[in-house]
Chain A
Protein backbone atom coordinates (compact mmCIF):
# COMPACT_ATOMS: atom_id res chain seq x y z
CA UNK A 1 0.00 0.00 0.00
CA UNK A 2 1.27 3.43 -0.86
CA UNK A 3 2.27 5.96 1.79
CA UNK A 4 -0.53 8.31 0.81
CA UNK A 5 -3.15 5.61 1.35
CA UNK A 6 -1.68 4.98 4.79
CA UNK A 7 -1.92 8.69 5.56
CA UNK A 8 -5.52 8.81 4.36
CA UNK A 9 -6.39 5.82 6.53
CA UNK A 10 -4.62 7.36 9.54
CA UNK A 11 -6.45 10.66 9.12
CA UNK A 12 -9.83 8.94 8.87
CA UNK A 13 -8.99 6.85 11.92
CA UNK A 14 -7.86 9.88 13.93
CA UNK A 15 -11.23 11.55 13.54
CA UNK A 16 -13.00 8.73 15.39
CA UNK A 17 -10.32 7.75 17.92
CA UNK A 18 -11.19 8.13 21.62
CA UNK A 19 -9.60 11.08 23.39
CA UNK A 20 -8.27 10.79 26.92
CA UNK A 21 -10.71 13.52 27.98
CA UNK A 22 -13.65 11.41 26.80
CA UNK A 23 -12.59 8.41 28.86
CA UNK A 24 -12.04 10.68 31.88
CA UNK A 25 -15.52 12.17 31.38
CA UNK A 26 -17.27 8.79 31.55
CA UNK A 27 -15.18 7.55 34.46
CA UNK A 28 -16.08 10.72 36.33
CA UNK A 29 -19.77 10.25 35.46
CA UNK A 30 -19.57 6.80 37.07
CA UNK A 31 -17.46 7.98 40.02
CA UNK A 32 -20.01 10.60 41.09
CA UNK A 33 -22.26 7.70 42.10
CA UNK A 34 -19.91 7.17 45.03
CA UNK A 35 -18.69 10.75 45.39
CA UNK A 36 -22.15 12.34 45.73
CA UNK A 37 -24.46 9.64 47.15
CA UNK A 38 -26.88 12.28 48.46
CA UNK A 39 -27.34 13.90 45.06
CA UNK A 40 -28.25 10.87 43.00
CA UNK A 41 -31.76 12.10 42.21
CA UNK A 42 -30.32 15.31 40.81
CA UNK A 43 -27.64 13.36 38.94
CA UNK A 44 -30.36 11.15 37.46
CA UNK A 45 -32.15 14.25 36.20
CA UNK A 46 -28.88 15.46 34.68
CA UNK A 47 -28.33 12.13 32.90
CA UNK A 48 -31.86 12.22 31.45
CA UNK A 49 -31.53 15.84 30.37
CA UNK A 50 -28.15 14.99 28.83
CA UNK A 51 -29.76 12.20 26.78
CA UNK A 52 -32.53 14.55 25.68
CA UNK A 53 -29.92 17.15 24.69
CA UNK A 54 -27.88 14.47 22.88
CA UNK A 55 -31.02 13.75 20.88
CA UNK A 56 -31.34 17.42 19.93
CA UNK A 57 -27.63 17.53 19.11
CA UNK A 58 -28.10 14.77 16.53
CA UNK A 59 -30.47 16.95 14.54
CA UNK A 60 -29.29 20.46 15.38
CA UNK A 61 -25.57 20.00 15.87
CA UNK A 62 -24.95 17.39 13.19
CA UNK A 63 -27.69 17.97 10.65
CA UNK A 64 -28.63 21.64 11.13
CA UNK A 65 -32.33 21.01 11.88
CA UNK A 66 -33.64 23.55 14.37
CA UNK A 67 -36.51 22.50 16.63
CA UNK A 68 -38.63 24.27 19.19
CA UNK A 69 -40.81 21.26 19.84
CA UNK A 70 -38.46 18.43 20.65
CA UNK A 71 -40.46 17.76 23.83
CA UNK A 72 -43.09 16.15 21.59
CA UNK A 73 -40.94 13.03 21.34
CA UNK A 74 -39.82 13.21 24.97
CA UNK A 75 -43.45 13.30 26.05
CA UNK A 76 -44.52 10.54 23.68
CA UNK A 77 -41.77 8.32 25.01
CA UNK A 78 -42.71 9.09 28.60
CA UNK A 79 -46.38 8.32 28.04
CA UNK A 80 -45.57 5.21 25.97
CA UNK A 81 -43.33 3.74 28.69
CA UNK A 82 -45.70 4.86 31.45
CA UNK A 83 -48.79 3.39 29.80
CA UNK A 84 -47.03 0.13 29.03
CA UNK A 85 -46.00 -0.22 32.67
CA UNK A 86 -49.42 0.79 33.91
CA UNK A 87 -51.00 -1.93 31.81
CA UNK A 88 -48.85 -4.70 33.11
CA UNK A 89 -45.54 -4.67 31.23
CA UNK A 90 -43.26 -3.17 33.82
CA UNK A 91 -39.91 -4.35 32.54
CA UNK A 92 -37.86 -1.17 32.14
CA UNK A 93 -35.88 -2.32 29.10
CA UNK A 94 -39.02 -3.42 27.27
CA UNK A 95 -40.60 -0.08 28.14
CA UNK A 96 -37.51 1.74 26.96
CA UNK A 97 -37.54 -0.09 23.62
CA UNK A 98 -41.28 0.50 23.22
CA UNK A 99 -40.91 4.23 23.93
CA UNK A 100 -38.07 4.50 21.40
CA UNK A 101 -40.15 2.76 18.74
CA UNK A 102 -43.23 4.93 19.38
CA UNK A 103 -41.26 8.18 19.35
CA UNK A 104 -39.20 7.04 16.38
CA UNK A 105 -42.35 6.31 14.39
CA UNK A 106 -43.72 9.74 15.33
CA UNK A 107 -40.43 11.27 14.16
CA UNK A 108 -40.68 9.38 10.88
CA UNK A 109 -44.24 10.61 10.36
CA UNK A 110 -43.26 14.21 11.15
CA UNK A 111 -40.08 14.11 9.05
CA UNK A 112 -41.67 15.03 5.68
CA UNK A 113 -42.78 18.29 7.28
CA UNK A 114 -39.26 18.94 8.56
CA UNK A 115 -36.91 18.00 5.74
CA UNK A 116 -38.31 20.23 3.03
CA UNK A 117 -38.67 23.47 4.97
CA UNK A 118 -36.28 26.23 5.92
CA UNK A 119 -35.31 27.10 9.49
CA UNK A 120 -38.37 29.25 10.17
CA UNK A 121 -40.72 26.58 8.81
CA UNK A 122 -39.02 23.97 10.96
CA UNK A 123 -39.30 26.09 14.09
CA UNK A 124 -43.01 26.59 13.54
CA UNK A 125 -43.76 22.99 12.52
CA UNK A 126 -41.91 21.46 15.47
CA UNK A 127 -43.52 23.92 17.87
CA UNK A 128 -46.94 23.18 16.38
CA UNK A 129 -46.53 19.39 16.60
CA UNK A 130 -45.53 19.66 20.28
CA UNK A 131 -48.48 21.92 21.05
CA UNK A 132 -50.89 19.51 19.32
CA UNK A 133 -49.55 16.55 21.29
CA UNK A 134 -49.73 18.53 24.54
CA UNK A 135 -53.37 19.32 23.90
CA UNK A 136 -54.18 15.72 22.93
CA UNK A 137 -52.59 14.48 26.17
CA UNK A 138 -54.48 17.11 28.12
CA UNK A 139 -57.84 16.29 26.55
CA UNK A 140 -57.51 12.52 26.47
CA UNK A 141 -57.71 12.18 30.22
CA UNK A 142 -59.04 8.61 30.15
CA UNK A 143 -55.74 7.46 28.67
CA UNK A 144 -53.16 9.92 29.98
CA UNK A 145 -54.71 11.08 33.23
CA UNK A 146 -54.92 14.59 31.77
CA UNK A 147 -53.86 17.37 34.10
CA UNK A 148 -53.64 14.94 37.04
CA UNK A 149 -50.93 12.98 35.29
CA UNK A 150 -50.50 9.28 34.64
CA UNK A 151 -50.49 7.41 37.92
CA UNK A 152 -50.24 3.78 38.91
CA UNK A 153 -47.00 3.10 37.03
CA UNK A 154 -45.16 0.11 38.48
CA UNK A 155 -41.68 -0.56 37.17
CA UNK A 156 -39.99 -3.93 37.69
CA UNK A 157 -36.37 -4.20 38.80
CA UNK A 158 -33.80 -3.59 36.05
CA UNK A 159 -32.76 -6.98 34.60
CA UNK A 160 -34.93 -8.49 37.36
CA UNK A 161 -32.20 -7.61 39.86
CA UNK A 162 -32.04 -3.90 40.69
CA UNK A 163 -35.17 -2.33 42.17
CA UNK A 164 -35.75 1.39 41.91
CA UNK A 165 -35.24 3.06 45.31
CA UNK A 166 -36.12 6.37 46.91
CA UNK A 167 -32.53 7.65 46.85
CA UNK A 168 -32.04 7.29 43.10
CA UNK A 169 -29.24 4.71 43.24
CA UNK A 170 -30.71 2.37 40.65
CA UNK A 171 -32.24 5.29 38.78
CA UNK A 172 -28.89 7.03 38.26
CA UNK A 173 -26.99 3.91 37.22
CA UNK A 174 -29.84 2.88 34.92
CA UNK A 175 -30.10 6.32 33.29
CA UNK A 176 -26.32 6.62 33.02
CA UNK A 177 -26.10 3.19 31.40
CA UNK A 178 -28.80 4.04 28.86
CA UNK A 179 -27.12 7.38 28.17
CA UNK A 180 -23.74 5.70 27.70
CA UNK A 181 -25.02 2.99 25.37
CA UNK A 182 -26.99 5.45 23.25
CA UNK A 183 -23.99 7.80 23.25
CA UNK A 184 -21.79 4.97 21.92
CA UNK A 185 -24.32 4.31 19.16
CA UNK A 186 -24.50 8.04 18.32
CA UNK A 187 -20.71 8.34 18.33
CA UNK A 188 -20.39 5.41 15.97
CA UNK A 189 -23.07 6.85 13.68
CA UNK A 190 -21.55 10.31 13.56
CA UNK A 191 -18.17 8.85 12.57
CA UNK A 192 -19.69 6.70 9.83
CA UNK A 193 -20.32 7.57 6.16
CA UNK A 194 -23.87 8.44 7.25
CA UNK A 195 -22.60 10.90 9.87
CA UNK A 196 -20.24 12.46 7.34
CA UNK A 197 -23.14 12.97 4.93
CA UNK A 198 -25.14 14.72 7.68
CA UNK A 199 -22.25 17.12 8.29
CA UNK A 200 -22.16 17.75 4.57
CA UNK A 201 -25.86 18.65 4.51
CA UNK A 202 -25.46 20.89 7.56
CA UNK A 203 -22.47 22.68 6.02
CA UNK A 204 -23.87 23.13 2.54
CA UNK A 205 -27.02 21.41 1.32
CA UNK A 206 -26.46 22.56 -2.28
CA UNK A 207 -23.00 21.04 -2.43
CA UNK A 208 -24.16 17.92 -0.56
CA UNK A 209 -26.75 17.20 -3.26
CA UNK A 210 -24.13 17.96 -5.93
CA UNK A 211 -21.91 15.37 -4.23
CA UNK A 212 -24.54 12.64 -4.54
CA UNK A 213 -26.01 12.97 -1.02
CA UNK A 214 -29.84 12.86 -0.94
CA UNK A 215 -30.53 15.51 1.75
CA UNK A 216 -34.22 14.72 2.34
CA UNK A 217 -33.67 11.02 2.88
CA UNK A 218 -30.75 11.52 5.27
CA UNK A 219 -32.51 14.25 7.26
CA UNK A 220 -35.62 12.08 7.61
CA UNK A 221 -33.46 9.24 8.89
CA UNK A 222 -31.61 11.28 11.51
CA UNK A 223 -34.84 12.99 12.58
CA UNK A 224 -36.38 9.56 13.20
CA UNK A 225 -33.34 8.40 15.15
CA UNK A 226 -33.23 11.61 17.21
CA UNK A 227 -36.95 11.27 17.98
CA UNK A 228 -36.36 7.76 19.29
CA UNK A 229 -33.49 9.08 21.46
CA UNK A 230 -35.84 11.71 22.88
CA UNK A 231 -38.35 8.93 23.47
CA UNK A 232 -35.72 7.04 25.46
CA UNK A 233 -35.18 10.13 27.64
CA UNK A 234 -38.94 10.30 28.15
CA UNK A 235 -39.04 6.63 29.12
CA UNK A 236 -36.32 7.27 31.71
CA UNK A 237 -38.40 10.09 33.20
CA UNK A 238 -41.47 7.84 33.44
CA UNK A 239 -39.60 4.85 34.79
CA UNK A 240 -37.37 6.55 37.34
CA UNK A 241 -40.11 8.83 38.72
CA UNK A 242 -42.96 6.31 38.13
CA UNK A 243 -45.14 9.22 37.13
CA UNK A 244 -45.86 11.13 33.92
CA UNK A 245 -47.42 14.57 33.86
CA UNK A 246 -48.28 16.97 31.06
CA UNK A 247 -45.05 18.76 31.95
CA UNK A 248 -43.11 16.34 29.72
CA UNK A 249 -44.83 17.85 26.69
CA UNK A 250 -44.58 21.44 27.87
CA UNK A 251 -42.90 24.12 25.77
CA UNK A 252 -40.36 24.83 28.51
CA UNK A 253 -38.90 21.34 27.99
CA UNK A 254 -38.17 22.14 24.34
CA UNK A 255 -36.77 25.54 25.27
CA UNK A 256 -34.65 24.17 28.13
CA UNK A 257 -33.04 21.50 25.99
CA UNK A 258 -32.19 24.10 23.35
CA UNK A 259 -30.55 26.24 26.06
CA UNK A 260 -28.69 23.21 27.40
CA UNK A 261 -27.25 22.49 23.97
CA UNK A 262 -26.32 26.12 23.39
CA UNK A 263 -24.53 26.23 26.75
CA UNK A 264 -22.58 23.03 26.05
CA UNK A 265 -22.08 23.68 22.33
CA UNK A 266 -23.65 21.67 19.50
CA UNK A 267 -21.98 19.30 17.06
CA UNK A 268 -19.51 17.28 19.14
CA UNK A 269 -21.81 14.97 21.14
CA UNK A 270 -20.62 16.16 24.56
CA UNK A 271 -22.29 19.56 24.35
CA UNK A 272 -25.61 18.25 25.63
CA UNK A 273 -23.95 16.55 28.56
CA UNK A 274 -21.82 19.49 29.58
CA UNK A 275 -24.78 21.80 29.09
CA UNK A 276 -27.02 19.55 31.19
CA UNK A 277 -24.53 19.59 34.06
CA UNK A 278 -24.16 23.40 33.97
CA UNK A 279 -27.89 24.01 33.55
CA UNK A 280 -29.01 21.69 36.35
CA UNK A 281 -26.24 22.89 38.65
CA UNK A 282 -27.29 26.50 38.08
CA UNK A 283 -30.95 25.65 38.50
CA UNK A 284 -30.28 23.73 41.71
CA UNK A 285 -27.90 26.32 43.19
CA UNK A 286 -29.89 29.42 42.32
CA UNK A 287 -33.25 27.98 43.32
CA UNK A 288 -31.77 27.04 46.71
CA UNK A 289 -31.32 30.69 47.73
CA UNK A 290 -34.07 32.28 45.66
CA UNK A 291 -36.80 29.69 44.97
CA UNK A 292 -39.20 32.23 43.46
CA UNK A 293 -36.88 34.16 41.20
CA UNK A 294 -34.37 31.57 40.00
CA UNK A 295 -35.60 31.90 36.41
CA UNK A 296 -34.54 35.56 36.48
CA UNK A 297 -30.97 34.60 37.33
CA UNK A 298 -30.92 31.76 34.83
CA UNK A 299 -32.14 34.21 32.19
CA UNK A 300 -29.47 36.75 33.11
CA UNK A 301 -26.81 34.06 33.01
CA UNK A 302 -27.92 32.94 29.59
CA UNK A 303 -27.88 36.45 28.16
CA UNK A 304 -24.36 37.04 29.47
CA UNK A 305 -23.27 33.58 28.45
CA UNK A 306 -24.46 33.90 24.87
CA UNK A 307 -22.90 37.35 24.59
CA UNK A 308 -19.55 36.54 26.19
CA UNK A 309 -19.04 33.21 27.86
CA UNK A 310 -19.90 30.73 25.11
CA UNK A 311 -16.68 31.09 23.18
CA UNK A 312 -14.71 30.82 26.43
CA UNK A 313 -16.30 27.50 27.49
CA UNK A 314 -16.42 25.96 24.02
CA UNK A 315 -12.91 27.18 23.27
CA UNK A 316 -11.69 25.68 26.55
CA UNK A 317 -13.27 22.30 25.85
CA UNK A 318 -11.91 22.19 22.30
CA UNK A 319 -8.46 23.19 23.57
CA UNK A 320 -8.45 20.30 26.04
CA UNK A 321 -9.64 17.88 23.37
CA UNK A 322 -6.96 19.02 20.93
CA UNK A 323 -4.13 19.08 23.47
CA UNK A 324 -4.55 15.56 24.83
CA UNK A 325 -3.91 13.54 21.67
CA UNK A 326 -1.11 15.96 20.72
CA UNK A 327 0.69 15.07 23.96
CA UNK A 328 0.19 11.40 23.30
CA UNK A 329 1.71 11.81 19.84
CA UNK A 330 4.55 13.83 21.31
CA UNK A 331 5.49 11.03 23.70
CA UNK A 332 5.44 8.44 20.95
CA UNK A 333 7.68 10.36 18.59
Chain B
Protein backbone atom coordinates (compact mmCIF):
# COMPACT_ATOMS: atom_id res chain seq x y z
CA UNK B 1 0.00 0.00 0.00
CA UNK B 2 1.12 3.59 -0.61
CA UNK B 3 0.88 6.53 1.76
CA UNK B 4 -1.83 9.11 1.07
CA UNK B 5 -1.10 11.22 4.12
CA UNK B 6 2.16 11.71 5.99
CA UNK B 7 3.46 13.97 8.68
CA UNK B 8 7.15 14.56 9.26
CA UNK B 9 8.37 15.65 12.71
CA UNK B 10 5.17 17.64 13.27
CA UNK B 11 5.47 19.97 16.27
CA UNK B 12 2.90 22.30 17.79
CA UNK B 13 3.61 24.32 20.89
CA UNK B 14 1.23 26.55 22.82
CA UNK B 15 3.45 28.81 24.89
CA UNK B 16 5.67 26.43 26.81
CA UNK B 17 3.43 23.41 26.25
CA UNK B 18 4.29 20.98 23.50
CA UNK B 19 0.93 19.67 22.23
CA UNK B 20 2.47 17.50 19.50
CA UNK B 21 6.09 16.43 19.69
CA UNK B 22 7.78 15.48 16.40
CA UNK B 23 5.01 13.25 15.19
CA UNK B 24 5.86 11.03 12.22
CA UNK B 25 2.67 9.49 10.97
CA UNK B 26 1.60 7.64 7.83
CA UNK B 27 -1.90 6.90 6.60
CA UNK B 28 -1.94 4.26 3.89
CA UNK B 29 -4.29 4.26 0.93
CA UNK B 30 -7.61 2.66 1.85
CA UNK B 31 -6.57 2.35 5.51
CA UNK B 32 -8.91 2.03 8.46
CA UNK B 33 -6.61 3.65 10.96
CA UNK B 34 -7.46 4.61 14.53
CA UNK B 35 -5.73 7.30 16.56
CA UNK B 36 -6.14 6.76 20.29
CA UNK B 37 -4.81 8.23 23.48
CA UNK B 38 -5.92 9.56 26.85
CA UNK B 39 -7.51 12.97 27.19
CA UNK B 40 -4.98 15.70 26.48
CA UNK B 41 -2.76 13.39 24.41
CA UNK B 42 -2.91 15.80 21.47
CA UNK B 43 -5.26 13.88 19.16
CA UNK B 44 -7.53 16.76 18.24
CA UNK B 45 -4.56 19.13 17.97
CA UNK B 46 -3.00 16.66 15.55
CA UNK B 47 -6.17 16.54 13.43
CA UNK B 48 -6.35 20.35 13.49
CA UNK B 49 -2.77 20.46 12.22
CA UNK B 50 -3.60 18.01 9.44
CA UNK B 51 -6.63 20.02 8.32
CA UNK B 52 -5.11 23.49 8.61
CA UNK B 53 -7.19 24.73 11.54
CA UNK B 54 -3.84 25.15 13.29
CA UNK B 55 -0.46 25.90 11.77
CA UNK B 56 2.40 23.70 13.04
CA UNK B 57 5.37 25.24 14.82
CA UNK B 58 7.59 23.00 12.67
CA UNK B 59 7.33 19.91 10.51
CA UNK B 60 5.38 19.14 7.36
CA UNK B 61 2.10 17.59 6.26
CA UNK B 62 2.09 15.76 2.92
CA UNK B 63 -1.13 14.76 1.15
CA UNK B 64 -0.94 12.57 -1.95
CA UNK B 65 2.70 13.53 -2.38
CA UNK B 66 2.11 17.29 -2.08
CA UNK B 67 3.36 19.39 0.83
CA UNK B 68 0.16 21.06 2.12
CA UNK B 69 1.59 22.49 5.34
CA UNK B 70 1.04 26.10 4.30
CA UNK B 71 -2.26 25.59 2.52
CA UNK B 72 -5.55 26.97 3.80
CA UNK B 73 -8.26 24.73 5.24
CA UNK B 74 -10.44 24.99 2.15
CA UNK B 75 -7.52 24.25 -0.19
CA UNK B 76 -6.89 21.02 1.71
CA UNK B 77 -10.54 20.05 1.26
CA UNK B 78 -10.23 20.66 -2.47
CA UNK B 79 -7.15 18.40 -2.51
CA UNK B 80 -9.08 15.56 -0.91
CA UNK B 81 -9.03 15.91 2.87
CA UNK B 82 -12.34 16.10 4.70
CA UNK B 83 -13.19 15.87 8.37
CA UNK B 84 -15.83 15.79 11.05
CA UNK B 85 -15.41 17.53 14.38
CA UNK B 86 -15.43 16.27 17.95
CA UNK B 87 -18.39 18.56 18.62
CA UNK B 88 -20.85 18.79 15.71
CA UNK B 89 -20.12 21.68 13.37
CA UNK B 90 -23.14 22.14 11.15
CA UNK B 91 -25.12 24.83 9.37
CA UNK B 92 -28.00 25.01 11.79
CA UNK B 93 -30.34 27.08 9.59
CA UNK B 94 -29.94 24.76 6.61
CA UNK B 95 -31.49 21.45 5.69
CA UNK B 96 -29.33 18.33 5.16
CA UNK B 97 -30.09 18.65 1.46
CA UNK B 98 -28.83 22.24 1.29
CA UNK B 99 -25.71 21.42 3.28
CA UNK B 100 -24.77 18.52 1.02
CA UNK B 101 -25.64 20.51 -2.11
CA UNK B 102 -23.34 23.26 -0.84
CA UNK B 103 -20.42 20.86 -0.45
CA UNK B 104 -21.08 19.33 -3.88
CA UNK B 105 -21.30 22.78 -5.43
CA UNK B 106 -18.03 23.87 -3.83
CA UNK B 107 -16.31 20.67 -4.91
CA UNK B 108 -17.40 21.33 -8.49
CA UNK B 109 -16.06 24.90 -8.25
CA UNK B 110 -19.45 26.61 -8.48
CA UNK B 111 -19.18 28.58 -5.25
CA UNK B 112 -18.45 31.94 -6.86
CA UNK B 113 -21.31 31.65 -9.30
CA UNK B 114 -23.62 34.39 -8.13
CA UNK B 115 -26.29 34.01 -10.78
CA UNK B 116 -26.57 30.30 -11.48
CA UNK B 117 -29.29 28.10 -10.04
CA UNK B 118 -28.57 24.98 -8.07
CA UNK B 119 -31.77 23.29 -9.22
CA UNK B 120 -30.58 23.69 -12.83
CA UNK B 121 -27.32 21.89 -12.26
CA UNK B 122 -27.50 18.20 -13.06
CA UNK B 123 -24.20 17.28 -11.38
CA UNK B 124 -25.06 18.95 -8.09
CA UNK B 125 -28.45 17.25 -8.08
CA UNK B 126 -27.01 13.83 -8.91
CA UNK B 127 -24.24 14.05 -6.33
CA UNK B 128 -26.58 15.38 -3.64
CA UNK B 129 -29.16 12.65 -4.28
CA UNK B 130 -26.46 9.96 -4.23
CA UNK B 131 -25.10 11.11 -0.87
CA UNK B 132 -28.58 11.44 0.66
CA UNK B 133 -29.34 7.87 -0.42
CA UNK B 134 -25.99 6.46 0.68
CA UNK B 135 -26.31 7.96 4.15
CA UNK B 136 -30.03 7.22 4.43
CA UNK B 137 -31.04 10.84 4.83
CA UNK B 138 -33.84 10.96 2.23
CA UNK B 139 -36.63 11.13 4.80
CA UNK B 140 -35.14 14.06 6.68
CA UNK B 141 -33.50 15.92 3.82
CA UNK B 142 -35.92 18.87 4.02
CA UNK B 143 -35.92 19.17 7.82
CA UNK B 144 -33.97 21.88 9.56
CA UNK B 145 -30.64 20.46 10.74
CA UNK B 146 -31.15 22.12 14.13
CA UNK B 147 -34.34 20.10 14.64
CA UNK B 148 -32.69 16.69 14.08
CA UNK B 149 -31.72 14.28 16.88
CA UNK B 150 -28.03 14.31 17.75
CA UNK B 151 -27.30 10.99 16.07
CA UNK B 152 -28.85 12.18 12.82
CA UNK B 153 -26.86 15.40 13.02
CA UNK B 154 -23.71 13.29 13.31
CA UNK B 155 -24.83 11.35 10.25
CA UNK B 156 -25.37 14.61 8.34
CA UNK B 157 -21.90 15.81 9.28
CA UNK B 158 -20.26 12.60 8.03
CA UNK B 159 -22.37 12.74 4.85
CA UNK B 160 -21.35 16.37 4.25
CA UNK B 161 -17.68 15.48 4.74
CA UNK B 162 -18.05 12.57 2.36
CA UNK B 163 -19.79 14.80 -0.22
CA UNK B 164 -16.42 16.50 -0.76
CA UNK B 165 -15.30 13.18 -2.30
CA UNK B 166 -12.23 12.95 -0.09
CA UNK B 167 -9.32 10.58 -0.47
CA UNK B 168 -8.70 11.04 3.28
CA UNK B 169 -11.54 11.26 5.79
CA UNK B 170 -10.80 12.24 9.39
CA UNK B 171 -13.52 11.30 11.87
CA UNK B 172 -13.08 12.92 15.27
CA UNK B 173 -15.04 10.83 17.78
CA UNK B 174 -18.04 10.28 15.48
CA UNK B 175 -19.99 8.23 18.01
CA UNK B 176 -19.39 10.47 21.03
CA UNK B 177 -22.62 11.50 22.69
CA UNK B 178 -24.78 9.50 20.30
CA UNK B 179 -27.52 7.47 22.04
CA UNK B 180 -27.18 3.69 21.79
CA UNK B 181 -30.22 3.35 19.50
CA UNK B 182 -28.71 5.63 16.85
CA UNK B 183 -25.15 4.47 17.43
CA UNK B 184 -25.48 1.22 15.53
CA UNK B 185 -26.77 2.90 12.38
CA UNK B 186 -23.96 5.42 12.57
CA UNK B 187 -21.32 2.73 12.95
CA UNK B 188 -22.78 0.75 10.07
CA UNK B 189 -22.44 3.84 7.92
CA UNK B 190 -18.84 4.39 8.99
CA UNK B 191 -18.12 0.69 8.40
CA UNK B 192 -19.56 0.78 4.90
CA UNK B 193 -17.52 3.72 3.62
CA UNK B 194 -15.89 2.86 0.27
CA UNK B 195 -12.57 1.04 0.56
CA UNK B 196 -10.71 3.56 -1.62
CA UNK B 197 -11.25 6.27 1.00
CA UNK B 198 -8.58 6.27 3.71
CA UNK B 199 -10.17 6.82 7.11
CA UNK B 200 -8.49 8.08 10.26
CA UNK B 201 -10.72 7.56 13.27
CA UNK B 202 -10.12 9.35 16.56
CA UNK B 203 -12.09 7.53 19.20
CA UNK B 204 -12.19 6.58 22.86
CA UNK B 205 -14.56 3.65 22.60
CA UNK B 206 -12.41 0.50 22.46
CA UNK B 207 -15.22 -1.65 21.04
CA UNK B 208 -15.54 0.67 18.06
CA UNK B 209 -11.79 0.92 17.60
CA UNK B 210 -11.13 -2.80 17.61
CA UNK B 211 -14.13 -3.50 15.38
CA UNK B 212 -13.15 -0.83 12.88
CA UNK B 213 -9.40 -0.37 12.77
CA UNK B 214 -6.79 -2.41 10.94
CA UNK B 215 -4.03 -0.23 12.35
CA UNK B 216 -3.74 1.83 15.52
CA UNK B 217 -1.51 4.74 16.52
CA UNK B 218 -1.31 5.59 20.21
CA UNK B 219 -0.57 9.17 21.22
CA UNK B 220 0.49 10.05 24.76
CA UNK B 221 1.60 13.52 25.81
CA UNK B 222 1.86 14.61 22.19
CA UNK B 223 4.15 11.74 21.19
CA UNK B 224 3.60 8.51 19.30
CA UNK B 225 3.85 5.82 21.94
CA UNK B 226 3.04 2.88 19.69
CA UNK B 227 1.90 2.17 16.17
CA UNK B 228 0.82 -1.05 14.56
CA UNK B 229 -1.63 -3.92 14.31
CA UNK B 230 -4.56 -3.75 16.81
CA UNK B 231 -3.75 -7.10 18.39
CA UNK B 232 -0.15 -6.05 19.00
CA UNK B 233 -1.22 -2.68 20.35
CA UNK B 234 -3.65 -4.36 22.74
CA UNK B 235 -0.83 -6.49 24.17
CA UNK B 236 1.74 -3.70 24.37
CA UNK B 237 2.56 -3.20 28.08
CA UNK B 238 3.44 0.46 27.62
CA UNK B 239 0.10 1.15 25.96
CA UNK B 240 -1.77 -0.77 28.63
CA UNK B 241 -0.02 1.18 31.31
CA UNK B 242 -0.47 4.56 29.69
CA UNK B 243 -3.92 4.26 28.31
CA UNK B 244 -5.84 1.03 28.27
CA UNK B 245 -5.33 0.05 31.88
CA UNK B 246 -6.53 -3.22 33.26
CA UNK B 247 -9.89 -2.81 31.49
CA UNK B 248 -8.17 -3.27 28.15
CA UNK B 249 -9.73 -5.09 25.27
CA UNK B 250 -9.59 -8.81 25.89
Contacts and interface: CB of A to CB of B under 8 A. Distances in A.
B68 interface: no
Interface in B66-91: 72-74, 77-78, 82-83, 85, 89-91
Given A11-B141, A210-B51, A211-B103, A16 B74 contact: no
A323 B238 CA distance: 64
Interface residues of B, number: 49
B113 A192 contact: yes
Contacts of A206: 53, 85, 89
Max chain B Cβ within 10 angstroms of own Cβ: one of A2, A9, A217: A9
Interface stretch (A67-75, A197-205, A313-321): A197-205
A2 B125 CA distance: 11
Contact of A12 (B83, B99, B103, B118): B118
A234 interface: no
B24 interface: no
B77 A211 contact: yes
A8 B89 contact: no
B242 to A, nearest CB: 31
B179 to A, nearest CB: 23
Contacts of A13: 119
A221 B112 contact: yes
A194 interface: yes
B111 interface: yes
A111 to B, nearest CB: 15
A214 B72 contact: yes
Nearest to B138: A4
B106 interface: yes
Contacts, number: 136
A211 B141 contact: no
B82 A11 contact: no
B18 to A, nearest CB: 24
Interface string B95-138: 10111011101110011111111110000111011001100001
B74 A214 contact: yes
Interface string A220-256: 0100000000000000000000000000000000000
A213 B51 contact: no
Interface string A11-37: 111011000000000000000000000
A285 interface: no
A5 interface: yes
B58 interface: no
Q: Does more than half of chain A's interface fall in helix, strand or loop, or is it mixed? A: helix
Nearest to A13: B119
Nearest to B133: A4
Contacts of B90: 203-204, 207
Contacts of B196: none
A203 B99 CA distance: 11
Nearest to A4: B129
B97 A200 contact: no
Max chain A Cβ within 10 angstroms of own Cβ: one of B74, B92, B142: B74
Interface string B132-171: 1100001001100000000000000000110010000000
Contacts of B111: 193-194, 197, 212-214, 218
B94 interface: yes
A262 B95 CA distance: 25
Interface string A174-189: 0000000000000011
B93 interface: yes
Contacts of A132: none
Nearest to B160: A211
Q: Which 8 pairs of residues, A with B, have the shortest CB-CB distance?
A: A12-B119, A212-B106, A207-B89, A209-B73, A203-B91, A212-B77, A194-B114, A13-B119
Given A196-B118, A203-B90, A218-B112, 17 more contacts: A4-B133, A7-B141, A8-B101, A8-B125, A8-B128, A10-B119, A13-B119, A15-B98, A188-B115, A189-B115, A192-B115, A193-B113, A195-B114, A197-B105, A209-B73, A213-B102, A221-B112
